[in-house]
Structure formats: C-alpha cells, structure tokens
Amino acid sequence: MTGRSSTRKAKADTRGSRRNQAGRRGPTAGRTRSWRDSPLRRITPWLFLAAPLALLITFTYVPVASMISYSFTDWDGVSPDRENVGFDNYVSIFTRPELFRVFFVSGYYLAASVVQIVVALYFAVILSFNLRFRNFFKGILFFPYLINGVAIGFVFLYFFQDGGTLDSVLAWLGVSTDHAWLGDPTSANVSLAGVSVWRFTGLNFVLFLGAIQSIPSELYEAAELDGAGKWQQFRHIIAPSIKPVISLSAILAISGSLSVFEIPYIMTGGATGTQTFVIQTIKLAFQFNKTGLASAAAVVLLLIILLITWIQRRLVPDDKVDLV
Amino acid sequence: MTSPDLTAAPNRPRPARRRLPVGGVLTYLSLLVATAVVLIPLVVVFLTSLKTSKEVGDGSALSLPGNWFNFDNYVTAFNDGKMLLAFGNTAFILLFSIGGTVIIGSMTAYAVDRFDFRGKRLVMAGFLIATLVPSVTTQVATFQVINGFGLVDTRWAPILLYMGTDIVSVYIFLQFIRGIPVSLDEAARLDGANAFTIYRKIIFPLLKPAIATVVIIKGITTYNDFYIPFLYMHSEDLGTISTALFRFKGPFGAHWEAISAGAILVIVPTLIIFLLLQRWIYNGFAQGATK
C-alpha cells in the first residue's frame, strides 16, 4: 500500500546522485582514474545488485508478464495445455453481472475512506496542539493499525454478533436493536467498511500528524499576530501544507478500496454480498481453477490502479510531495 | 501508553500552549469518544476471554467475568490453536525475511548510490516501476512461479516473497545512505579496502537507524500478514500467527471465550512492542509510507 509515491522520490534520487558523483570525482580524480577503468570496478555494482535484481525480476516482472499471457487463455492452472481465447476473459468480466458486481462493493470501502481521512485529519489537527494526555491519545488512535488482521476480524465478528458488543453497548445506551448486522448485504458491507475505518484511521492520522508537525511554528505565530483564528490558521496554513499528503492518502484509499481482502474474507468469507475483487480473484484461481479468468481480472485491477496513480501524478506535481 | 516521555514527538517548540475555551471541552469529548470506539471492542474481547462458556452464554457482552484469573481459555487457545508452533514459524519467517530485506535493501542502495555504471538508470527504473504493481494483483501468477520452484507449502515461499517485493526498504536505505559522506568511502579505499569491505565495515554499521526503521516496519507487517501464508502454506504444521488463529476458529465456531483468548494472545506481543518502541514505530511508519 505504500510504494506509490516512491516514483517521485526516485526521480529526485537520480538527480541527487548524479550531483554526488560529479563532486566525488574532484580531488582524487587522478588516483581513482586507473581503478575506475578496471574491469573489476565495472563488475562490482552488479555483484551487489545480482540478488536484488534476481528477486525483483522473479517476483515482480515475471509474474506480471505471465499474468498478462494467462489472461488470454482458458488455462486452469494445472493442466499442461491451454487454449488461446483472445479477449473472452475480459469480455466476461465486463458483461457477466456476477463478476462485475464486486466493483460496487468497493464503493462502500471508498466511502469509508472518505470518513477515515476526515476523522484522521480532525484528530491530527487537534493533537498537533499541546493537549493533556496528548501522547496517550496518539497511541490509542494509532494502535489499531498495528493489530493482526485476523484478530481484528474476530474482535469485530463478536462486535457485530447478535447480543454481541454492539448490541450490548446500544442496549446500555437505551437503544434496543435486534438487527443482524452482518445479515443483509447493505448492512454487512457498511459494517465491514466501518471495521476498515477503525483499522486504518491510525495510519492516516500518523501521516497527517507528521506533515503538520513539519510546518515551522513561526507561521502560526505570525498568523496569530495578524489576528487569525483557529479555523483561519487551519485553512491558510495547515491545509495547504499537507495537501500533498492528503492527495497521497486519497490515492492509497482508492487503490486500497479496490484491493480489500482480509477483513471481509475473515469475517464473512465473501458471503452476503460482501465479496470483493481480490476475494473473487482468489476464488476463481484457487478454488474454481479458472486461472485465465482470474488473471484477466487481476490485469483489469492492475490497470485501474495504474490509471489512478497516473491521474494523481498529473494532478499533484512531483516536487510537492516531499513534506514528511 | 502511560509513559508520555517515550512518545514525546520530535517536538519543535510549539507556539505557547493555547487554550480553546469553548472548543476545549468538545475537543476532549471527541477524543474520549474516539478512545471508547477504539477500546470497547478490544476490552470486551479481553473480558470474554476470561469468562467460562456458561458466562458467555448467559451474560451480556459487557458483563464482567466471575473470576479474573480464569486462564483456561488461554490454555485451550494456546494448545488447540497450536500457537507455540505458530509463534515458532512466524519467528523463523521473521528472522529470515527481515535479515534478507536488510541485506538486500542496503546492498541495492549502496550499489545504486555509490557507483556510476552503465545501466544504472535502467536498474533504477526497474525498481521504480515495480512500486506501481500492488502484489495482490499479481498473486495468481506469482503462485505459479513459486510452484515452479517447488516451494509451495514451505516456509521459504513467504520468506522469498517478503524479501523480493520489499521496495519500500530500498528507498528508506537510499535516503539514508545519501547522507553518509563519500569521503569515508574514499579514505577507506586509500587504505586498500575494496567495495565489499567498505560496504561491510563502513556503510552497513552507519545505516543502523535506517535498519531499525526497516526492521520495525517489516517486522510488524510480516507478523500481521495473512494473505501470503494463507495462499502458500496450507499444511497445519506451517501455520503462522495469522493462519493458526484463522484455522482455530473453525472447530471452535461459537466458543467465543476460546476465540477471544486466541485473538488476545496474538495482540499482546504487538501491544508490548508498541509500548516499548512507540516513538520509533510512529516515525518508521511515517517514513515507510511516504517515501
């Protein structure tokens, strides 16, 4: 879920290191000249890169290439022969409603990410001021992000049970419900999306907090002298400074919403209309042995995510995303 | 969470403590609500883990356990859930994948930052473009690669995958290595050290803070990962923390006291690590996610 912004960084990287290299040559140029040309010198970096590149190619590029090639076949993942079926798999994904439906499930998670970002932003702003028990609240808000996904799944299965945590808390507050929270598709998806807000708000919160804390405090002081209130400080100082991090979070939220897997798989197994794209792909590939169709689905997901990343990079220019 | 000193964020002097007269109450109220939302589900599961199965059946979820020292459910979860084995497998995978990630990441960063060679831009681009490909999307095909090596259902499958797909750590090292003065390399070179010695004796020891960051991020994400062990290690003997807990629920379907104990068993190590390393964890994730 991270990586997305690294491209930007790396661009800066190549620039930076070229400068380094030029500087390095300076005083010792005469001494290094002969060594620089020796064949050993030319091989050295490759000795260091051999293992990383082997892993990179084996576990990223080979899979991408073979996934694309499987996606045009009817391969079952096991048998030695496979038939080329052209674009049939892709046509199936977009025309068979039961396959396409998973995209609508992402909508719940997308809406949840909006809530998540707003809540994280709110708490990051108030906790960037000196409050009592600030570190305690910081810890509380972040901790859910560190918890094992399976454990979270179970905690919330119990939470949404009949007579479980949620019902008990509501009864205690004087609201009595006998609603089966995971019983119908809408309420199940809303519940599961709520769990993802509970789980991931902490990460957004820490990112925002880091960005807000890197704003020089003189800015606030100047603003205060000019008579700016809290809201104006937020609007004119904090908001513009953390725009890049918010945009990064938005991207992570979109691609995250498309690739939800753990929580719905653990809690409902994809039943009651909570099946997501990744659950479907895994079922297609490993239960129904439709490797070809599953690959086509994965290619579609990959293309959507690449498209979103590309749009984000057009909207937020490179050198701005460097705040944290 | 009660040791405020540990978390004292890299505090630059804040403008003097400002009061929020009316907003103040609401601010604290909202923080208390958030605290309740985070803690209630966890506390209830903790309470449940101490109850007997009769107490779970009769009482409300919020009722207190009759005996606060009833650890029977933990014993059940630990033994029947094969938790010892799971902790062992997870530790084994953690050790190798973190070790591998640190070595591979730092070697890559060293080679890319300290050498000028033909194809360097291509290598950089190779690592870059890979960051755009989320591993969930390629897993169907990655499975065939791992299968081709005959590694499905061994502990080496997750280890290789965790090592091979971790590009974030390469960037953390790259950021850091750039801050190490090149003059150190050159001094060593004049003393006759070769590139490998320089890497081992100079660069690697100086990378300690970056290594700490990578170990923390990698450690927590690996400990918590469900997807990869679930796909690649079917044997019951190869359960990790996540998959062992997942399988434990099967036979204990409605025994919430036992399942709760299992969940708490898995959460407690994370809680301890978090309390001990708070500051580094915040910084680590802030770096890891944005670099």
Burial call A12-33: b when 16+ CB within 10 Å, e when fewer = ebeeebeeeeeebeeeeeeebe
pLDDT band at B242 (very low <50, low <70, confident <90, very high): very high
CB nearest to B108's CB, from A52, A139, A165? A52
What confidence tens digit (pLDDT) does each residue in A203-243 have? 999 999 988 888 888 888 888 888 887 788 888 888 888 88
Asked if A147's CB is within 8 angstroms of B141's CB, the reply is no
Asked if A282's CB is within 8 angstroms of B231's CB, the reply is yes
Give the Cβ contact number of residue B51 at 10 Å: 25
| CB–CB contacts below 8 A, A to B | 343
Q: Is the dihedral of CA B246, B247, B249, B253 positive or negative?
A: positive
Looking at the domain assignment, is residue A42 inside a domain? no
Could you tell me which residues come within 8 angstroms of residue A66 by beta carbon, excluding any fewer than 6 positions away? B141, B144, B145
Nearest CA in chain B to A156: B41
Side-chain half-sphere exposure of B227, counting CA atoms within 13 A? 23
> Which pLDDT does position A318 carry in this prediction?
53
Looking at the domain assignment, is residue A258 inside a domain? yes
Task: State how far residue B189 is from chain A, nearest Cα, in angstroms.
Answer: 9
- Residue of A19, A137, A148, A233 to mutate, testing the B interface (most B Cβ within 10 Å of its Cβ): A148
Crossing angle of helices A102-127 and A277-286, rounded to 10°: 130
Average pLDDT, chain B: 85
Looking at the domain assignment, is residue A49 inside a domain? no
* 3-state SS assignment for residue A84: strand
- Which is more confidently placed, A179 or B222? B222
> Which pLDDT does position A317 carry in this prediction?
62
Looking at the domain assignment, is residue A166 inside a domain? yes
Looking at the domain assignment, is residue A144 inside a domain? yes
Looking at the domain assignment, is residue A19 inside a domain? no
Helical spans, DSSP H, in A27-129:
29-37, 39-56, 62-70, 88-95, 97-100, 102-127
Enter the DSSP assignment of A234. Answer: I
Largest CA distance in chain A: 84
Asked if B62's CB is within 8 angstroms of A165's CB, the reply is yes
- Which is more confidently placed, A140 or A236? A140
* 3-state SS assignment for residue A73: strand
Q: Which domains does chain B have, with CATH numbers?
A: 24-58+65-70 (no CATH), 81-254+264-290 (1.10.3720.10)
ipTM over 0.90: no
Q: What is the extent of the structural domain holding A272?
A: 88-315
What confidence tens digit (pLDDT) does each residue in B157-166 have? 999 999 887 7
Cβ neighbourhood burial of A320 (10 Å; 0-12, 13-18, 19+) = exposed
Read off the tokens for A192.
Answer: 């599961």
Chain A partners within 8 Å of B174 (Cβ): 13
CB nearest to A139's CB, from B115, B144, B278? B278
pTM: predicted TM-score of the whole model, two decimal places: 0.83
> Which pLDDT does position A2 carry in this prediction?
38
CB nearest to B115's CB, from A28, A45, A146? A45
Task: State how far residue B226 is from chain A, nearest Cα, in angstroms.
Answer: 7
> Which pLDDT does position A14 carry in this prediction?
43
pLDDT band at A30 (very low <50, low <70, confident <90, very high): very low
- Which is more confidently placed, A299 or A23? A299
CB nearest to A203's CB, from B111, B223, B285? B285
CB B206 within 8 A of CB B180: yes
- For the segment A154-159, the average pLDDT, to the nearest whole number, is 93
How many domains, in total, are found in chain A? 1
Report how far residue B48's alpha carbon sits from residue A125's, in angstroms, rounded to the nearest whole number.
35
Looking at the domain assignment, is residue A1 inside a domain? no
Kindly report the CATH number assigned to the domain that includes residue A174: 1.10.3720.10
Choice among A30-34, B170-174, B256-260 with the minimum mean pLDDT? A30-34
* Residue B63 identity: S
Residue B244 has pLDDT above 80, yes or no: yes
B161: phi then psi, degrees, rounded to nearest 5 = -65, -40
Report how far residue A224's alpha carbon sits from residue A232's, in angstroms, rounded to the nearest whole number.
10
Chain A partners within 8 Å of B278 (Cβ): 135, 139
Looking at the domain assignment, is residue A46 inside a domain? no
> Which pLDDT does position A3 carry in this prediction?
39
Task: State how far residue B51 is from chain A, nearest Cα, in angstroms.
Answer: 14
- Residue of A1, A5, A6, A67 to mutate, testing the B interface (most B Cβ within 10 Å of its Cβ): A6
